[in-house]
Amino acid sequence: MRMNRDLRRDYLQAIGIESWVRRGAPGAQAEVIAHVPPRAVPEGPERESGVDWPELESRVAACTRCALHATRTQAVFGVGSRAAQWLVVGEAPGAEEDARGEPFVGRAGQLLNSMLRAVGLRREEVYIANVLKCRPPGNRDPSPFEAAECLPYLEQQIALLKPRILLAVGRIAAQNLLRTESPLGRLRLHVHHFGRSQVPLIATYHPAYLLRTPADKRKAWEDLKFAREVCARV
Ligand code: URA
């Protein structure tokens, strides 16, 4: 989707970037993009679960696989277009998300919306979900057990959605999806692939981190442009 110049400038200002310079074709990014393989298995075996959206949503709402069900207000399934090309994956619901039942509705969510708008995407046209569907008390990091128990739900969401690209926001999301302990700085600006469907995955900073560290917003902007270019090539 193309944006006119004024709109893009407004959104870049919203995420704290005054101006940007388009890179020429040669360079590291162009090389990485050139290595994007075609989607190897477009209809992955994830579909074998045969579950549809309403069934999956009610399974998540009733889930008791880990102890987080005891402290949640409600499970936070996900939100957005079920025809989306982009799936944005965060870490876990926070207090506001737990109360409202929707991911990324707090200040971090507003920044996420601005980041998406900067690459021409409205919140309503992407799909947004988390690695964990339930809030960890005190917003602590997900435990490995909680992530392992919850990831099949995200895998089923991916099987139903069949996104062209996955944007992992934050270290926790990226490390859990890629099953790695590599720092985010090493994961960003590379094309990874997730799961059996091998959907391309790009990692970027979490908007809550960017609120604390605005100097890194420029890097997040680079990541989103990179993701947009990868998405256009698959
Ligand atoms: N942070 C996340 O990772 N996910 C949310 O839904 C909200 C904040």
Question: Over the stretch 45-64, which tens digit does the pLDDT of each residue have?
Answer: 344 458 999 999 999 999 99
127 forms bridges with which residues in the sheet? 80, 87
pTM: 0.84
> Residue 170 above 60 pLDDT?
yes
Residue of the nearest CA to atom 6 in ligand 1? 103
Buried b (16+ CB within 10 A) or exposed e, 130-163: bbbbbbbeeeeebeeebbebbbebbbbbbbbbbb
User: Backbone phi, then psi, for 174, in 5-degree steps?
Assistant: -60, -45
Q: Is the CB of 90 under 6 A from ligand 1?
A: yes
Distance in Å, CA 189 to ligand 1 centroid: 22
Q: Is the CB of 102 under 6 A from ligand 1?
A: no
Q: How far is CA 68 from each of CA 60, 63, 144, 179, rounded to the nearest angstrom?
A: 12, 9, 13, 22
Q: In what order do the strands lie in the sheet with 192-194?
A: 79-80, 127-130, 86-90, 165-169, 199-204, 192-194
Q: Is the CB of 108 under 6 A from ligand 1?
A: yes
Residue of the nearest CA to atom 7 in ligand 1? 104
- Count of Cβ atoms closer than 10 Å to residue 43 Cβ: 11
pLDDT digits (tens, 9 = 90+) for 19-50: 443 444 333 343 343 333 444 433 443 444 58
> Residue 15 above 80 pLDDT?
no
Q: Is the CB of 221 under 6 A from ligand 1?
A: no
Ligand 1 atom closest to residue 97's alpha carbon, by position in its atom list: 6
